[in-house]
């Protein structure tokens, strides 16, 4: 857990209070818009959710793997293809309501932050400013102005030995083996059970760090939503934006945390719309404070009150 300790030590610190509105999302894996772009099918859902959060004055914190830079070599085509998303993100950045962490799939943002500073606008046939001067961070700590309670934010690959230490090898395999197979509709050659077991190991490490350090930890990486009840280990996971029929997010509003899903819904007249559904919470942050004895009855090891169908 040394890498998690390092991320905590060097984290960007930001204050918040009970009037703050913050939404955490991750693992969008935005790509070039083709068959291998896992984000493309959920792009309209994501854009609808982001418009809602922008309109409600939320700060959007992306917890890594926002862009797929293992399968794809360049960021600029991603920004061009998903122009609507990045236009909205740029507007939120200009209002100081957008922060970005990097994950293992977009760690290039740490190495080359200038890649996000501009993009090519096909309509104007020129390079235009996008996120000038923006930096992607490894981690953040949100500190409550009154209580001092901390929320530690990381992508989560720091608890995944192979994807943290050998990400260059992982990127090579994804770019030259998995992407061509995915593009023609062939499922991943790895066993799904092995993948699940790997994610469980990562989650156990993140949970162990949270317990050892008595800190709320919010991550992504595993694509598996986690939302503990007060009294349980305070490891949260916002899920991902590449589930087949929905995206998930964690909201912090009025001093309380909630797990939500955004998906297509149907009105009585048969028309479709993108709607939000609460999967767990809201639970007040005070219930997760140190020494708090409050507890919500639940089954250990699962997401409380969360039904996350694809």
Count CB atoms within 10 A of the CB of residue 140: 20
Cα 230 to Cα 280: distance, rounded to the nearest angstrom: 12
Sorted by sequence, the CB contacts under 8 Å of residue 2 that are 6+ apart come out as none
Q: Which long-range contacts (CB under 8 A, 24 or more apart) does 144-150 make?
A: 144/15, 144/16, 144/17, 144/285, 145/15, 145/16, 145/17, 146/17, 146/18, 147/285, 147/286, 147/289, 149/216, 149/285, 149/288, 149/289, 150/215, 150/216
Cα 195 to Cα 122: distance, rounded to the nearest angstrom: 39
Q: What is the pLDDT of residues 16-27, one digit of tens each?
A: 999 999 999 999
With CA atoms as reference, report the closest residue to 156 among 107, 203, 226. 203
The mean per-residue pLDDT over the stretch 243-251 comes to 93
Answer yes or no: are the C-beta atoms of 114 and 134 closer than 8 Å: no
pLDDT at 176 > cutoff 50:
no
CATH of domain 2-288: 3.60.21.10
With CA atoms as reference, report the closest residue to 298 among 240, 227, 236, 239. 227
Q: Mind spelling out the 3-state secondary structure of 83-113?
A: HHHHHHHHHHHHCCCEEEECCCCCCHHHHCH
Token pair recorded at residue 74: 């360049």
Using alpha carbons, list the distances in angstroms from residue 121 to 6, 46, 92: 38, 21, 19
% of residues, the chain, pLDDT over 90: 65
Write down the pLDDT at residue 91: 96
Cα 241 to Cα 302: distance, rounded to the nearest angstrom: 20
Higher-scoring residue by pLDDT: 174, 194: 174
Tokens 């922060």, located at residue: 99
Write down the pLDDT at residue 191: 37
Q: What is the pLDDT of residues 46-80, one digit of tens each?
A: 999 999 999 999 999 999 999 999 888 899 999 99
Q: Are strands 126-129 and 118-121 parallel, antiparallel or unpaired?
A: antiparallel
What does pTM read for this prediction? 0.85
pLDDT band at 36 (very low <50, low <70, confident <90, very high): confident
Answer yes or no: are the C-beta atoms of 64 and 157 closer than 8 Å: yes
Q: How many CA atoms lie within 13 A of 283 on its CB side?
A: 24
Write down the pLDDT at residue 169: 57
Q: Is residue 259 exposed (0-12), middle (13-18) or buried (19+ Cβ within 10 Å)?
A: buried
């Amino acid at each position: 857990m040394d890498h998690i300790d390092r991320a905590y030590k060097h984290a960007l610190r930001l204050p918040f209070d009970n009037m703050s509105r913050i939404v955490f999302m991750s693992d969008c894996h935005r790509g070039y818009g083709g068959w291998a772009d896992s984000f493309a099918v959920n792009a309209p859902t994501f854009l609808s959710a982001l418009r809602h959060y922008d309109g409600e004055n939320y700060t959007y914190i992306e917890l890594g793997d926002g862009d797929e830079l293992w399968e794809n070599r360049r960021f600029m085509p991603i920004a061009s293809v998903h122009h609507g998303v990045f236009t909205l993100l740029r507007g939120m950045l200009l209002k100081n309501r957008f922060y970005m962490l990097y994950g293992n799939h977009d760690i290039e943002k740490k190495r080359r932050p200038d890649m996000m500073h501009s993009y090519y606008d096909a309509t104007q046939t020129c390079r235009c400013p996008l996120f000038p001067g923006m930096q992607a961070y490894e981690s953040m700590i949100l500190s409550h102005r009154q209580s001092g309670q901390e929320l530690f934010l990381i992508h989560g690959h720091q608890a995944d030995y192979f994807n943290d230490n050998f990400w260059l090898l992982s990127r090579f395999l994804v770019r030259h083996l998995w992407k061509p197979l995915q593009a023609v509709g062939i499922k991943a050659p790895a066993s799904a059970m092995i993948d699940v077991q790997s994610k469980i190991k990562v989650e156990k490490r993140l949970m162990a760090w949270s317990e050892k350090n008595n800190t709320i930890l919010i991550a992504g990486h595993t694509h598996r939503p986690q939302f503990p009840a007060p009294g349980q280990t305070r490891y949260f996971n916002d899920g991902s934006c590449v589930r087949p029929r929905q995206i998930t997010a964690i909201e912090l509003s009025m001093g309380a945390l909630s797990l939500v899903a955004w998906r297509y819904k149907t009105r009585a007249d048969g028309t479709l719309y993108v709607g939000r559904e609460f999967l767990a919470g809201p639970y007040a942050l005070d219930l997760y404070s140190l020494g708090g004895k409050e507890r919500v009855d639940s089954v250990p090891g699962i997401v409380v009150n969360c039904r996350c169908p694809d």
